[in-house]
Structure 1
Amino acid sequence: MTEEMNNEMAEVKDFSVGEIVTGTVTKVEEKQAYVNVGYKMDGIVPISELSSLHVEKVSDVLNEGDEVELQVIKLTDEELVLSKRAVAAEKAWDDLAEKHENGETFEAEVADVVKGGLVVDLGVRGFIPASLVERHYVEDFSDYKGKTLRVKVVEMDKEKNKLILSQRAVLDEEAAEKKRETLNQLNAGDVLEGTVQRLTDFGAFVDIGGVDGLVHISQMAHHHVDTPSEVVNEGDVVKVKVLGVDPDNERISLSIKDTLPGPWEALEGKFQHGDVVEGTVKRLVSFGAFVEIAPGVEGLVHISQIANRHIGTPGEVLKEGESVKAKVLDVNVTERRISLSIRALEEEKEAKAEKAAKNEYQKEDDHSGFSLGDMIGDQLKKYKK
C-alpha cells in the first residue's frame, strides 16, 4: 500500500447516526443534494430533510459550494444520509423552550397561509391559529404570507412536534400596558379626543388611548337624547371630558355634553324682543307654561300671557307636548330667562282681523256712497235742463 493511499484512508472520517457534521454541497439535483463531509462517499440530503416546511426543489434551499451543518440519520457501507432539518430542529426546540419559559416575544415570518391559521418556519414548523393572529376578527389571511409577526410561544411539545404561537398574546399585553398607563395618567376634568368604539342603549364607549370610557346617554348632549345614535356613530372622533376615573375597576366616566357650548350660550343673539318663535310645551305649572324653543332652552309663558281672557289654570288652554307659537317679550341669557306670550299673538291676530273687517266695511261704504251721489247728481242735471 502506498503512502498516498494510507493518507487518503487516514483522512476518511468515522461517523455515527445522530452525529452533527459539517460539509460542502458538491451537487444539487431536483430531489436531493450531495455533500462532502469527509466520508468515503458524499452524503445524500433528501429534499424532505431540508426544512420543516414543504420545499418544491432542492435549489430553493441549497446551492453548490454552500457550507452546511447536517445530522447523520442513516449510515451504511453503501449510503450516508444526512439531514439539515434535524439540525435546525434540535437548535430550534432548545431556543424555543427558553423563549417559552421567559415569555419572550420574537419575530417570525409567515411562510404559508393554511386552513385555520398561519404557518411559520423557526427550524421547526410553527402554527398560529386564526384566533391568535389579531385582537380583532380577520376574514381573509391571504395577504399575511411573507409578513413578519411578533409572537410568543403558547404551547409546545417536542415529542409530538407541536408548536403553537400567538401574536394576539403580544398585542393583548401591549394593550393592557397602554391601558394601565392611560388610567394612571387620567384625571377628572381632563378634556381629550377619543374614538367611538360601540353604542349601547345606555350610552357610548369611547377609546381614549387604549382604554374605553363610558359616555352615559345623559352626558351626550344638553338636550334629551333617546338613543346614542342620534348624537354619534361608531368610528366617530369626539371630544370628551373626564368626569371620573376608577383605576382599580378600570372604569372611566366621560362627557361629551361638557365639551359643548351650553344651550344658553349658543342662544346669544339668536332671539330678540318681538320675535315670533315656535316651541313645544314641556311643563305646566300653576303660574304658567314652560315652552322649549331650542334644544335645552325653555321660555316661560306666564299664565297671564297664555290667553286673551282670564283662565284659572294653564291646563285649560294648553297640553304638555303641544306645539305652540309665541312672541318673545324679554331675553336674559345671563340669568337664563326668556319671557314669552301667546296672548300677544292672539291679540295681534284679532287686531288685524278687526282692522281688515273695518277696511272692508269702509270700502263697501265708500263704494255705495259714490254710486248714490253719482245717480242723484245725474238726475239733477237732467231735471235742470
Structure 2
Amino acid sequence: MSERQDEFSNENIQVGDQVKATVVKLEDKQVVVDLGAKFDGIIPISELSHLHVEHTNEVLSEGDEVVVVVQKVEDEAIILSKKANDSKQAWEDLEKKLESGESFEAKVVEVVNGGLVADVGLRGFIPASHVEVYYVEDFSEYKDQSLTVKVIEMDESRNRVILSHKAVTEKEMTDRKKEILNKIEAGDQVEGTVQRITNFGVFVDIGGVDGLIHISQLSHEHVNKASDVVSEGDKIKVKVLSVDRDTERIALSLKDTLPGPWEGIENEISNGQVIEGEVKRLVNFGAFVEIKRGVEGLVHISQIAKEHIGTPQEVLKEGQKVQVKVLDVNEKNKRLSLSIKEVEEDRESSELKQYQKDQEDDQAFQLGDLIGDQLKNYKK
C-alpha cells in the first residue's frame, strides 16, 4: 500500500470532507477518481456541474486534478461531488462581489420565463427588468452570450442569486455622462444621434448624455414641426451652445452647423440685377421682400413707386410677387437694398426706347416708299 493509501482509508474519510482527487477514468454516467484510499471515488454525472451535462468528458479529462466533497462513504465506493465544492466556492466568491460591487462576465445558459439564467459557478438569475436599461421583447438572442453583470441580491438558504446587467450599464452611462459634462464646452461641434422628437425640439444623444436642440435652432428657416427636419435615429452634427453642469443640461444647435442662407449671396446676385421676390412684411418705412429662403431685402418707401406714397400698404400687400432691382448687397452685414421703382423706370425707359426705334423704323420705311415712287415717276 502506498503512502497515500496509508494516509487515507475509508474509515477516516467522512461525509462533508473536501478532498483532492485525480481523474482515472471517464464513463458515460460517472467519473472514477483516485483518492489514495482503499477504494476509488465515484463522481456521478449529476454531481459534475450545476449545468446539464450530456457526457462526463464535457467537464473533465483523464489526469485532471479536482477538488470534491464527500457525499457518501460505502463499503465498495466513495460517492463524491464536484458540483458541491464548486457551489461552495462560487457562493464565497459571489458574496465578495456583492460586498465590493464588482462587475464580472457571465454566460447566459438559458432563457426562462421572466428573464435569463447565467452560469456564475451556480445558477444566477437575471430578471427581465434587469437585463437592459430599455424594454426587451425577445430574449432568445441572449442565449450563449456573455453579459457583464453584478450581484444585487443573494440568499444561500434559498439557493437564490440575483444578477443585473442593467445596473452595470446604468453605472457606465453615469460615468460616461460625467466625463462628457466635464470636458464639453460651448462652441464645440460634436456628432450625435436623434433620440426623441417633441413639440419644442429634439433630444440628441452626444455619446452618453442628451442635449436639446430647441426647435428654433433646427434650421435657418422657420420650422413648424421638428419631424420635418430630422427623424429618430438620424446621425447629425451639432454645435454646443451652452453647458450647465449643475443641472446637467446641454443646449445644442443644428442650424449653426449648416450653411446660412446669406452664405455666398454676393456670388448669387449682383448690383443692378432684377429678380422676383415675395413681399413678406410691410412697415412704415418700406417693405421687406424675400428673394430666396431666409434672405430678405428692404425696399425703402422711397423705392416702392415713382409717385409719392404715404404708406407701403397703398400699393403693396403681403404675399404679393414683385420684381425688384438689387441696389446693394452686403453678405457680411446681411443687408440687401432693393427697388421696385427702378424696375418700373427701367421698364418705361426700355419701352420708350423701343417706341422711338419703332418710330424711326416706320419713318425710314415711309421715306423709302416715297423715294421709290418718285423714281418710278422719273423713269416714266
Under TM normalisation by the shorter chain, which class is it? 0.7 to 0.9
Deviates more, 1:92-101 or 1:108-117: 108-117
State the partner residue of 1:13. 10
- Asked whether the equivalents of residues 21 and 66 of structure 2 are also in contact (C-alpha less than 8 Å), the reply is yes
Q: How does 1:1-385 map to 2 (within 5 A)?
A: 11-14=8-11, 15-112=13-110, 117-129=115-127, 131-136=129-134, 147-187=145-185, 189-198=186-195, 199-233=197-231, 234-243=233-242, 245-258=243-256, 264=262, 266-333=264-331, 335-371=333-369, 373-375=371-373, 377-382=375-380
- Asked whether the equivalents of residues 220 and 228 of structure 1 are also in contact (C-alpha less than 8 Å), the reply is yes
Task: Compute the displacement of 1:64 (Å).
Answer: 1.9
Letter in 2 for 1:197: V
> 2:261 and 2:148 mapped to 1: Cα distance?
50
Letter in 1 for 2:239: V
- Asked whether the equivalents of residues 218 and 229 of structure 2 are also in contact (C-alpha less than 8 Å), the reply is yes
Summarize deviations over 1:307-335 as a string: whole Å, max 9, x none: 33443321233222333331011234455
Change (3 A) 1:114 1:371: farther
Letter in 1 for 2:31: A
> 1:275 and 1:210 mapped to 2: Cα distance?
51
Change (3 A) 1:218 1:10: closer
> 1:55 and 1:223 mapped to 2: Cα distance?
66
Give the secondary-structure state (helix, strand or coil) at the position aligned to 1:159: helix
> 2:65 and 2:118 mapped to 1: Cα distance?
24
Q: TM-score, normalised by structure 2?
A: 0.84
Task: Compute the displacement of 1:378 (Å).
Answer: 2.7
> 2:228 and 2:277 mapped to 1: Cα distance?
20
Task: Compute the displacement of 1:96 (Å).
Answer: 0.9
Number of residue pairs the alignment of both structures matches: 376
> 2:77 and 2:294 mapped to 1: Cα distance?
92
- Asked whether the equivalents of residues 261 and 295 of structure 2 are also in contact (C-alpha less than 8 Å), the reply is yes
> 1:9 and 1:253 mapped to 2: Cα distance?
79
- Asked whether the equivalents of residues 271 and 326 of structure 2 are also in contact (C-alpha less than 8 Å), the reply is yes
Unaligned runs of 5+ in 1: none
- Asked whether the equivalents of residues 192 and 208 of structure 1 are also in contact (C-alpha less than 8 Å), the reply is no
Unaligned runs of 5+ in 2: none
Deviates more, 1:303-312 or 1:361-370: 361-370
Deviates more, 1:251-260 or 1:296-305: 251-260
> 1:146 and 1:88 mapped to 2: Cα distance?
21
Task: Compute the displacement of 1:229 (Å).
Answer: 4.5
Letter in 2 for 1:95: D
Letter in 2 for 1:323: K
- Asked whether the equivalents of residues 266 and 329 of structure 2 are also in contact (C-alpha less than 8 Å), the reply is no
> 1:203 and 1:313 mapped to 2: Cα distance?
39
Summarize deviations over 1:41-89 as a string: whole Å, max 9, x none: 3332222211111112111111222211112233443553221111111
* Percent identity (aligned): 52
Give the secondary-structure state (helix, strand or coil) at the position aligned to 1:63: coil
> 2:5 and 2:147 mapped to 1: Cα distance?
50
What CA RMSD, in Å, does the superposition of the two structures yield over aligned residues? 3.3
Change (3 A) 1:8 1:121: closer
> 1:318 and 1:115 mapped to 2: Cα distance?
73
